[in-house]
Amino acid sequence: MLDPALLRSRLAETAARLKETRGFTLDVAAVEALESQRKQLSTETQDLQNLRNTRSKAIGQAKAKGEDVAPLMAEVAGIGDKLKANEHALAEVQAKLADIALGIPNLPHESVPLGQDENHNQEISRWGLPRQFDFPVKDHVDLGARHGWLDGEAGAKLSGARFTVMRGQLAQLHRALAQFMLDLHTREHGYLECNVPLLVNAESMQGTGQLPKFEEDLFATQVGDTRRYLIPTAEVSLTNLVRDTIQDVDALPLRFTAHTPCFRAEAGSYGRDVRGMIRQHQFEKVEMVQIARPEDSYAQLEEMVGHAEKVLQKLQLPYRKMMLCTGDMGFSAAKTYDLEVWLPSQNTYREISSCSNCTDFQARRMQARVRNPETNKPELVHTLNGSGLAIGRTLIAVMENYQNADGSITVPEALRPYMAGAEKIA
């Protein structure tokens, strides 16, 4: 969440920035009214606490003198009742302010271009040239129909729409991609591989910004009084590893990676990319997370994007790097780069990785901190996350870019060690 100081001392300015950059309307009047109540109740509560302490001392002094303390005892009891009522009212006001704060998106970095949607994103660079085919190009669905490799009907029978079954060599290629990505990030990029829970509690989802705003996009389970959520990305589990901790400055940056299934209800997105595996309720991803010192986080973002790019480069997949505009960024992000891979069947680039610096937005929710060696006081860390990469979409890109006229698929050289040396699947 945003620094509470912005909502107290710079409310109008913050509201204007949110409107301009995010299209988000902050109810300034409601915040001002609640903040006024908070200040009044806080002052009254402090005054009552001081008065109770003064009267309690007076009781002790009166007892020492043998005086009647009944009137003072009655007064202290009355003060206690008022204090309890004030503390309850103050807690309610603070909870309302916290609810408002939890629904406010992060403020974009000054380098992020202004814009309302993906049409205003800024292209930074391109890598590789799209392949020129001398035969009609098939999409991944038609290529996957070979030998029943990719079976949407079986997925629908088992679970419903937007689930897919993979079989045989295609399932093996999918697994090879995950292993290749993990090995690259751990051996060459310095990430610590983690195996994390797929079911997390509400505190974890709130920590990274999925709750309370995006609950309808999540899959949840309820056992008795315990509610848990299936992770939409391993970012949730990996980032929350530092929740309620104080890191040693010399340990930063922390670099975590994990290969997990991801689960997204994606309420309201039906009708888009319904064919094949582009948009699924269940998919797999290799996630990267970094925990950084504030002064280093934007340099770490550039590094992380480079790590995701390296996957595409080693697979020889053409792509472009985009900086997202203010209106297209995720809720928690201050700056985001997307990598978009070339898909021949669509004759366009499609998102395959998104890398973001969330600054202290998630850390404030999680109370994830680092001890400042100069002041010896804990300060909020900066959190970053990125796809390294989405495995299903990478599989689609490999299938389409490496397809042959007979429907077989050439295995990229980088993946052959993970495919027992196979040069193609057919």
Active-site annotation holder among 38, 279, 293, 320: 279
Active site residue 351: yes
Residue 150 pairs with which residues in a beta bridge? 166
Task: Give the DSSP per-residue string, 374-388.
Answer: TT--EEE-EEEEEEE
Q: What whole-number distance in Å separates Cα of residue 316 and Cα of residue 69?
A: 87
Residue 342 pairs with which residues in a beta bridge? 349
Q: Are 124 and 337 in contact (CB under 8 A)?
A: yes
Q: CA dist 48 to 34, 43, 76, Å?
A: 21, 9, 10
Strands 226-230 and 199-200, how do they pair? antiparallel
**Nearest-CA neighbor of 307 among 389, 377, 252, 232?**
389
Residue 223 pairs with which residues in a beta bridge? 226
- Asked if omega into 212 is within 30° of 0 (cis), the reply is yes
Q: CB within 8 A of 94, min separation 6: which ones?
A: 38
Q: What whole-number distance in Å separates Cα of residue 370 and Cα of residue 291?
A: 10
Q: What whole-number distance in Å separates Cα of residue 150 and Cα of residue 127?
A: 29
The structure tokens 């020129």 sit at 132
Q: What whole-number distance in Å separates Cα of residue 25 and Cα of residue 334?
A: 18
- Asked if omega into 198 is within 30° of 0 (cis), the reply is no
Q: Are 317 and 270 in contact (CB under 8 A)?
A: no
Active-site annotation holder among 22, 264, 365, 369: 264
Quote the tokens at residue 124. 């930074």
Active-site annotation holder among 162, 228, 369, 393: 393
Active site residue 393: yes
Quote the tokens at residue 237. 């589990």
Q: Are 324 and 112 in contact (CB under 8 A)?
A: yes
In angstroms and rounded to an integer, the radius of gyration of the C-alpha atoms of the chain is: 27
Active-site annotation holder among 297, 354, 356, 387: 354
- Asked if omega into 344 is within 30° of 0 (cis), the reply is no
Other residues' Cβ atoms within 10 Å of the Cβ of residue 276: 19
DSSP H helical ranges for 190-263: 202-208, 235-239
Active-site annotation holder among 351, 364, 371, 379: 351
Active site residue 279: yes
Distance from the Cα of residue 127 to its chain's centroid: 27
Residues with catalytic roles: 264, 279, 351, 354, 393
